[in-house]
Amino acid sequence: MITALAGGVGAARFLTGLTQLIKQEDLTVIVNTGDDIDLFGLHISPDIDIVTYTLASIINDEKGWGIKDDTFNCLNMLKLFSEVDWFNLGDRDFATSILRTNMLKNGATLSQISAKVSRDLGLKLKILPMTDDKFATYVQIPGDSIHFEEYMVKRAAKDPVLDVKFVGAETAKPAEGVIDAIMDSDRVIICPSNPIVSIGTILSIQGVRDALRKTRAKKVAVSPIVAGAPIKGPADKLLNGLGVEVSAFGVAKLYVDFLDGFVIDSMDAAEKSRIEGLGVKVAVVNTLMKDLASKVALAKIVLDL
């Protein structure tokens, strides 16, 4: 049994490789819900949808989010009504959020909804939201505190980051199955996702960090930072804002209390001994996932380390 902690695009691409090597039935993915946001009166779960669509092979690969060949007629009409004009959601994608919102209204949990959506899309793995409770990542920028999606999408991650707040972290309980998945796995993989707003959120949920320390599972992470910069997204600004070194070493330090192995990119080979100095085993490989073969190769390293 394998459990993976995941954010959005980077994690989803990594998991595409992993699911070539292990049976979906043996995989549980715990997904960040700090990006979840209510827009147009609909509950949108960006990372859950990205992971689900990617593994169901319906993702828009170019964009990394949304459904391939989707249309945007609903959104364009909403723009005509002067609704939120900065968030993009395709017509098929709207369906997922309409379903989610309706099921939430009728008392279902995010976990139940994620299970239904992934099952209906033909998946056999378990996709678990990190929590079924309210949780939202807010970014403190000069003069304002804004939702992560607003920081990321509306303002294109241009603002300097002063701080990051996890609203709800103090009370949010792990979704059913989250702690068990960590405790009962042979291996827990921390995907190459943003260590603050994707993995950091999951780690902030009550009992998760503790379970990672206690489980007998091997815990292996893939560095999302290569040559001092994130492959995708604003991790550098967020890490900088929090005073964390923007390097594989900086990320390793965030996970050091539970991490057994760390896969870093060849370009960061020089950091190997520093990270090993933290007591973490290190594999140095090419971590760029440019095609399915490289995703599978990377997954193999992670399974073997």
Residues at the site binding its own copies, with contacts judged by CB under 8 A? 40-42, 67, 70-71, 73-78, 80-83, 90-92, 94-96, 98-99, 101-102, 105-106, 116-117, 120-121
Q: Which long-range contacts (CB under 8 A, 24 or more apart) does 281-289 make?
A: 281/305, 287/192, 287/222, 287/223, 287/226, 287/263, 288/226, 288/231, 289/13, 289/14, 289/17
Distance in Å, CB of 70 to its own copies, minimum: 7
Q: Which of 255, 239, 100 is nearest to 160 (CA)?
A: 239
CB-based burial, 149-178: b 16+ in 10 Å, e otherwise: bbbbbeeebebebeebebebbeebebbebb
Nearer to its own copies, 99 or 301 (CB): 99
Strand partners, 190: 5, 221
Distance in Å, CB of 27 to its own copies, minimum: 22
Nearer to its own copies, 13 or 43 (CB): 43
Distance in Å, CB of 106 to its own copies, minimum: 8
Relative to beta strand 218-222, strand 261-265 is: parallel
Distance in Å, CB of 113 to its own copies, minimum: 10
Q: What is the dihedral of CA 271, 274, 277, 280, to 10 degrees?
A: -30
Give yes or no for a contact between 196 and 204, defined as CB atoms under 8 angstroms apart. no
Nearer to its own copies, 70 or 265 (CB): 70
Cα–Cα dist 299/301, whole Å: 5
Distance in Å, CB of 48 to its own copies, minimum: 14
Relative to beta strand 42-44, strand 126-129 is: unpaired
Nearer to its own copies, 111 or 287 (CB): 111
Distance in Å, CB of 102 to its own copies, minimum: 3
Q: Which of 13, 1, 34, 5 is nearest to 178 (CA)?
A: 5
Nearer to its own copies, 42 or 297 (CB): 42
Nearer to its own copies, 81 or 273 (CB): 81
Distance in Å, CB of 127 to its own copies, minimum: 15
Half-sphere exposure of 167 (CA within 13 A, CB side): 13
Nearer to its own copies, 45 or 247 (CB): 45
